[in-house]
């Protein structure tokens, strides 16, 4: 479903060149629950951002289904991301003035889905992440763990092909981390949602079904469990 071929990424500010990715080849199938691990600066965020169309490679191809997103224009990418990819960020990135329900609903509004569908799906997703009784709370009225569960519900609202998460548990305590992992694994196993996430957390790595280790912008190992 995701086919990354010979990706290179060099950041160049005119003075300094940083070779963040140096020839990455990887294939990710539907239904995977895959962790990308590696030392700080190894290229995990760069790789996730390129797979998600948030950044463009210097060289190489990223096929998502039948689409080579490395060839899309900025406007085409915005549209593609909206309809195909869900994102969860380290710092939750919820919209502070919107409630949990409104945050989850937001991308469905952009997709012009009708109100009945929006309401049904929002309720179902917030229940699935254990927040059925918190739907009218704003982010600052929720714990970090609750906010990140809203972010997972939001990532799924647009019916993406897969969810990318860059260190989703980095700001969570161990209980909230375990809780979020339980929810993500359940969505993976019961609804066949594909998750690809980066992490430094051994407890998260332990629960991944495939672990891809990146070092110096290259894949060092790729282990399915």
* Residues 94-120: b if buried by 16+ CB within 10 A, e if exposed: beeeebbbbbbbbbbeeeebeeeebee
Q: Residue 25 to residues 22, 38, 47, 210, 220: CA-CA distances in angstroms?
A: 10, 16, 11, 15, 11
Binding segment for ligand ATP (CB under 6 A), chosen from 33-41, 81-89, 154-162, 174-182, is 33-41
Q: Least Å distance between CB 148 and ligand ATP?
A: 17
x/- map, 36-55, ligand ATP, by CB under 6 A: --x-xxxxxxx---------
* Beta carbon nearer to ligand ATP, 20 or 85: 20
* Beta carbon nearer to ligand ATP, 40 or 75: 40
* Beta carbon nearer to ligand ATP, 43 or 160: 43
Q: Scan residues 20-49 and list those touching Mg ion (CB under 5 A).
A: 44-45
Beta bridge partners of 11: 18
Backbone angles phi, psi at 202, to 5 degrees: -60, -35
Q: Residue 33 to residues 72, 163, 209, 222: CA-CA distances in angstroms?
A: 27, 10, 5, 13
Q: Least Å distance between CB 218 and ligand ATP?
A: 12
| 224 contacts ligand ATP (rule: CB under 6 A) | no
| 168 contacts ligand ATP (rule: CB under 6 A) | no
| 84 contacts ligand ATP (rule: CB under 6 A) | no
> Distance from first CA to last CA of the chain, Å, rounded?
20
* Beta carbon nearer to ligand ATP, 58 or 83: 58
* DSSP annotation string for 56-89: --SEEEEEETTEEGGG--HHHHHHHHHHHEEEE-
Q: Least Å distance between CB 102 and ligand ATP?
A: 30
In the complex, the residues that contact ligand ATP under the rule CB under 6 A are 11, 18, 20, 38, 40-46
């Amino acid at each position: 479903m995701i086919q990354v071929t010979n990706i290179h990424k060099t950041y160049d500010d005119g003075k300094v060149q940083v070779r963040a990715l140096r020839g990455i080849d990887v294939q990710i199938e539907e239904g995977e629950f895959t962790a990308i691990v590696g030392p700080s600066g190894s290229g995990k965020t760069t790789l996730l951002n390129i797979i998600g169309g948030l950044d463009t490679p210097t060289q190489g191809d990223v096929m998502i289904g039948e689409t080579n997103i490395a060839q899309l224009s900025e406007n085409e990418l915005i549209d593609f991301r909206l309809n195909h990819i869900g994102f969860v960020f380290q710092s939750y990135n919820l919209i502070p003035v919107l409630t949990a329900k409104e945050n989850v609903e937001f991308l469905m509004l952009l997709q012009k889905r009708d109100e009945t569908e929006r309401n049904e799906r929002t309720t179902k997703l917030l229940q699935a992440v254990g927040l059925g009784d918190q739907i009218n709370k704003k982010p600052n009225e929720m714990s970090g763990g609750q906010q990140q569960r809203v972010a997972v519900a939001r990532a799924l609202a647009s019916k993406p092909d897969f969810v990318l998460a860059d260190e989703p548990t980095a700001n969570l305590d161990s209980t909230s981390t375990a809780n979020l992992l339980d929810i993500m694994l359940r969505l993976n196993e019961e609804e066949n949602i594909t998750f690809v996430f980066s992490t430094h957390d051994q407890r998260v790595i332990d629960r991944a079904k495939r672990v891809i280790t990146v070092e110096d912008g290259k894949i060092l190992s790729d282990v399915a469990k």
